[in-house]
Amino acid sequence: MHYADGRKTPCEDVLPKQLAHCSDLNTSIFINRMIKSEKPDLIVFTGDNIFGFDATDAASSMNAAFAPAISSKIPWAAVLGNHDQESTLSREGVMKHIVTMKHTLSQLNPQGFKAIDGFGNYNLEVHGPEGTNSMNKSVLNLYFLDSGDYSTVSSIPGYGWIKPSQQFWFQETSRNLKKKSKAKAKAEAPGLAYFHIPLPEYAMFDKSNFTGVRQEGISSPTVNSGFFTSIVEAGDVKALFTGHDHLNDFCGRLSGVHLCYGGGFGYHAYGKAGWARRARVVVVDLGKDENVKSIKTWKRLDDEKLSVIDEEVLWRRRSSGGRRKKPVDRG
């Protein structure tokens, strides 16, 4: 969102006719439009929630930025980006404020993992509908990670990365969740992961093997910490969702995992005049056996009709009744 000081904060990269009356409030209006249209069960914010350099007071900016989600009373979760800590609160302070806000499911860090890098590493288990056999078991697992801000190693330039301690936490959590889901449901619950800075593997796509657009370079860390390998080895995560690169909104499949951008959302953030701000929607459908049968996605544009574009299936559970050809990755 890159939220700063509300009405006082001008928009960036919009058409000249929009500029005079455009501010952070346009971001808030877009969130409200999305909530009214989609009626989501969960709202996820993928970092750079506030733009620290222009936010006079970090707490006030966060209160305003998350206000539409809070007023909707819909559960919401957030991770940090590389700009959240550049105002009046440290990175830890920002996350500590977020976890105290109403209706949030965000967590500072996982219990039992004292030595873990970053702030905002946590997982959420999505149970089945009330009144069904799956109401007390996880049918979907969500992972949230702090991908850092900037490298703290003098010999390595550029952005931060997901550290070994975080990868260990993810591996242990995934392993435990898979054991638990198989014991209760005899079917492994799929997972989704959310963080801000894209992995280096996002650069492995070209126009022939993704859905959406790539209009700028992939601003990933200059080192590959191996987190994508950890994701593939774990096997439960079917899609990753990141922010950071505002002019990219694509989804591409690599080694059985979809690597997706949310698309540029905030108005006090760089964009492209005439190219509508956008938000990604993810829909998870349950089958008759109360296990997830498919994960779908599309994007909505902040235009007059709140247009839907790029509908696609990210994952579908294989039928146990017959053989199915193995999908081929082109990435």
| Mean confidence (pLDDT) of the chain | 93
Is residue 184's pLDDT more than 80? no
pLDDT of residue 328: 46
- How far apart (Å, rounded) are the C-alpha atoms in residues 147 and 149? 7
pLDDT in tens, 254-266: 999 999 999 999 9
- For the chain, domains (ranges, CATH) are 6-316 (3.60.21.10)
Segment among 133-142, 166-175, 180-189 with least mean pLDDT? 180-189
> What 3-state DSSP class applies to 79?
strand
pLDDT of residue 77: 98
pLDDT in tens, 6-20: 999 999 999 999 999
CB neighbours of 235 closer than 8 A, spacing ≥ 6? 188
Answer for the pair 13, 270: CB distance below 8 angstroms, yes or no: yes
Answer for the pair 40, 68: CB distance below 8 angstroms, yes or no: no
Per-residue confidence band for 207, with pLDDT thresholds at 50, 70 and 90: confident
Is residue 127's pLDDT more than 80? yes
Per-residue confidence band for 319, with pLDDT thresholds at 50, 70 and 90: confident
Per-residue confidence band for 27, with pLDDT thresholds at 50, 70 and 90: very high
Is residue 185's pLDDT more than 80? no
**Which among 294, 290, 299 is positioned nearest to 315, based on CA atoms?**
294
| C-alpha separations of 111 from 80, 147, 202, 270, 284 in Å | 19, 19, 31, 37, 28
DSSP-assigned states of every residue in 9-73: SBPSS--HHHHTT-BHHHHHHHHHHHHHHH--S-EEEES--B-GGG-S-HHHHHHHHSHHHHHHT
Q: Which two tokens stand for residue 162?
A: 């997901």
pLDDT of residue 322: 44
pLDDT of residue 320: 58
> What 3-state DSSP class applies to 115?
coil
Q: Which two tokens stand for residue 193?
A: 């992961």
pLDDT of residue 313: 97
Q: Which two tokens stand for residue 184?
A: 């209760």
Label each residue of 35-47 as H, E or C: HHHHCCCCEEEEC
Is residue 327's pLDDT more than 80? no
